[in-house]
Structure 1
Amino acid sequence: MSTSLDQLPGIAESDCGVTVVLSYGMGVDSTAILLRWLVEPSSRDFDLADLIVVTADTGGEFDQTITDVEQIVLPALRRHGVRFIQVGRSQRKTTAKGDGVAVLQDTTAPTRLYRAAYTLADEMLSAGTVPQIGGTRICSIHAKGNCLDSVIATVTAGRRYRHVVGFESDEGSRAVKDALFNTDRRTGWYPLRDWGWDRDRCSDYIAAITGRRWLKSACGFCPFAMRTEAGRSHVAQRWRLEPQQGAYALFLEHVARSLNERQTLIEGSSAADLVATAGLTEVQSQFAVMLDESEHAVYEVRRLTRRPATGGAGRGITARSVRAVARGTRAQMGQDLHGRGGERRIGADGIVRHVVRERGDQLPALEFFYVVCPAVVEDKQRTGFESWWQEATTDAVLF
């Protein structure tokens, strides 16, 4: 049973040495660091009593990674009595004080990994979107970073600590960026860079001591894992082995795409195209079942892009209003859509939309349509949207 951060014990005053906190992502890099420290005492300059391993659950990790961690890493932590803290979100928003962050387990004898009550997929589905490529990985910050920062602040309680992050030997820029967050208490530490280890060296080390080739840690719907052809091939193979993960990725993409046809998990393509090209029929079958079993809704979707506030050049402000106007079975909502206004269109994604207003190229740009999709998206409208919509509608008529 999960607990709140205020029930999490800090570091005892009698502890000696500087605490070492490892942010454990369950992937190749952080696993290599942790296993080497456990197997080779000479590789570390601290006692294991001063080590705390923390991990945050996103709710979307591949089953094979969960299995590997539970069968290899957790038994090793138990043998050495290393403190292992699992955390996750209990709600969409978290605070620096730890509101919305739940401690799933805090123990020196872990036997299993626990699932967070609120997952990254919950966040994506309720917003009708997918993780965004480019810039800061907001999805990782929300599901991992914010949770880990809170738990680390709680357990260190103002004492000095070394924060271990698994940056590889060729990730100097990431280490430099992370070091900007150092304080008089927190010191970033990157053992793989000290050892000169890259991803291949980490993978070979894990294989040598465990007999397993550790797979990359990622959510089953991670768009960052599918940016390259090699990445897409790897993900397709994992979906072949874990079709439920592929089906869930298709479900998430379908919801986001219904509200915005440009929202896919693969830039310039889609997870649906990847599944079809790879011949992943079991993924498609499970996805079809998910759709059939889901409650559906007819959503009214309005989107606008305003002119820049200064009246000069710029992209302007984009805002969206999403509202469920009917709920029922998939078939019932399909019939309901027939009675909605607008021009009936079937997009390249195969999704039927009734377009009331098609987006233009000039600002203000407005878009308005009705669409049927699983009833998982929350009604949401940015403050001021209605006045902006009326203003933009008037402008569009005048110009």
Structure 2
Amino acid sequence: MLEDPAAHGVDLDRTMVLHELTRDEWPATRAHAEQFVLSLLRENRVRLVQVARASRSLKITVMDDSRQSQRIIERGPWALWDEYETGGAVPQQGGIRLCLHAKGKVGDALIAPEIGDRPFRQVMGFNADEAGRSRRDEAARKNPLRQGVYPLIDRGRGRERCEAFLYERFGVRWEKSYCSFCFPVSMGAMDAHLDRMRAHPDIAGRALRLEYTSVSLNPQAKLFGRRSLLEQFDPGRGEDRPVLAAFEEELTCPWALYHVRRILPVSKADPTRRGRPMRSVERVHVGSWQATPSATPRTLPPRAPRPIIRRCSQLGSRDSSRAQRTCTAGEPLPTVDRSSLAPCMVITAAQGAFSASRASAVGST
């Protein structure tokens, strides 16, 4: 399209390329885009708009709007990571996909005032192996003036063929683009994903902490459905130890106890089906994680004489009735078995993950 725009019916002066910031793109992908893609856009004077969410609301902010952009901006004021971290969650394999808030809805909010009441074409980079994504994109279309265009699918170019083209053109292996904390539906091969994690243990440690917090609040909320990310790393394997060490470092932060309540309502449209669940997460106590040479209990200092939690579920137990107990302020939490994803309690999570969760979560009930 850049080399022969007329052949594709494209006017570069009226073309806008959107970069919707999520924050957690892999470093190599971002570096390749900055080195190769930006130079092509600058050479052809194509307008690049880098846009992100301005806050937890769906308001947006334009981070860069230029025909001579010099760098790929990593994040805006509110990133997709912030959405999951403040909510104590991980990307879902079903239901509402929060990534739409960081990508599709952000782009739509920018396009609407730019285009006005004129028809337009939106070119999407789905390859021929992702025909289902193009169908979902068409089904989700809300603007009748929009026409989705899928050139890679139309030309039958799947991922392998696209990667071969990029290598021939630029001389580098262009790895798949996706958020570092995403799951296999989006990222493809698990082995390749774990190799990228091992190459970036700091990124892996952050993703493991995100999952740890999520599972601490909901034992079912693992990154890969029934499997967790932590289960993929073996402390007996040398190449995995830096990842697990980074995870341990992530956990050296203030800790808190949370009172978690859930409502599982029936659907208003169909009483025979379950509706969207609601959760209240209330922080009731803040403390520290104190390690000892022989064991690593997570303890909280005494503050209140009254019981602060009425029910706790030890996440490692399949029989929740045996794990129920009463905790009082100042009582040591269970000893940590580091081979388990969430060996403490359903109300245990890193304090920093919930700076904005209490008002919204409590308000939802």
Normalised TM-score (structure 1) = 0.73
Matched residue SS, 1:167: coil
1:206 and 2:166 aligned = yes
Aligned with residue 150 of structure 1, among 105, 109, 118: 109
- Cα deviation 1:30-73 (Å, max 9, x = unaligned): xxxxxxx2345575332322221011011111111111111111
Q: Distance in 2 between matches of 1:179 and 1:258?
A: 37
Whichever residue aligns with residue 111 of structure 1, its letter is Q
In the alignment, which residue of structure 2 is the partner of 1:348? 316
In the alignment, which residue of structure 2 is the partner of 1:161? 120
Aligned with residue 245 of structure 1, among 195, 198, 203: 203
Distance 1:39 1:282, change over 3 A: farther
Q: Distance in 2 between matches of 1:53 and 1:153?
A: 15
Please say if residues 22 and 179 of structure 2, whose CA atoms lie closer than 8 Å, have aligned partners that are also in contact: yes
Please say if residues 62 and 218 of structure 1, whose CA atoms lie closer than 8 Å, have aligned partners that are also in contact: yes
Matched residue SS, 1:58: coil
Cα RMSD (Å) of the superposition?
3.1
Unaligned runs of 5+ in 2: 291-296, 318-322, 328-344
Distance 1:384 1:89, change over 3 A: closer
Aligned with residue 111 of structure 1, among 70, 82, 90: 70
Residue correspondence of structure 1 range 344-383 to structure 2 within 5 A: 346-348=314-316, 355=325, 371-375=347-351, 376-377=353-354, 378-379=357-358, 380-381=360-361, 383=363
Matched residue SS, 1:102: strand
1:77 and 2:41 aligned = yes
In the alignment, which residue of structure 2 is the partner of 1:185? 145
Q: Distance in 2 between matches of 1:143 and 1:225?
A: 18
Q: Distance in 2 between matches of 1:312 and 1:40?
A: 56
Aligned with residue 180 of structure 2, among 205, 209, 220: 220
Matched residue SS, 1:76: helix
- Cα deviation 1:165-194 (Å, max 9, x = unaligned): 123235444434434537563221111123
Shift of 1:291: 1.3
In the alignment, which residue of structure 2 is the partner of 1:65? 29
1:303 and 2:268 aligned = no
Aligned with residue 17 of structure 2, among 41, 53, 68: 53
Distance 1:256 1:384, change over 3 A: closer
What number of residue pairs does the alignment pair up?
326
Deviates more, 1:168-177 or 1:144-153: 168-177
Deviates more, 1:201-210 or 1:329-338: 329-338
Q: Distance in 1 between matches of 2:35 and 2:276?
A: 49
- Cα deviation 1:109-159 (Å, max 9, x = unaligned): 1111112111111111111111110255x2221111111001112222332
Please say if residues 327 and 333 of structure 1, whose CA atoms lie closer than 8 Å, have aligned partners that are also in contact: no
Matched residue SS, 2:189: helix
Shift of 1:205: 1.0
Deviates more, 1:338-347 or 1:155-164: 338-347
Please say if residues 129 and 159 of structure 2, whose CA atoms lie closer than 8 Å, have aligned partners that are also in contact: no
Deviates more, 1:336-345 or 1:209-218: 336-345
Unaligned runs of 5+ in 1: 1-36, 95-99, 358-368, 386-399
Comparing both structures, which one devotes a greater share of its residues to helix? 1
Please say if residues 225 and 235 of structure 1, whose CA atoms lie closer than 8 Å, have aligned partners that are also in contact: no
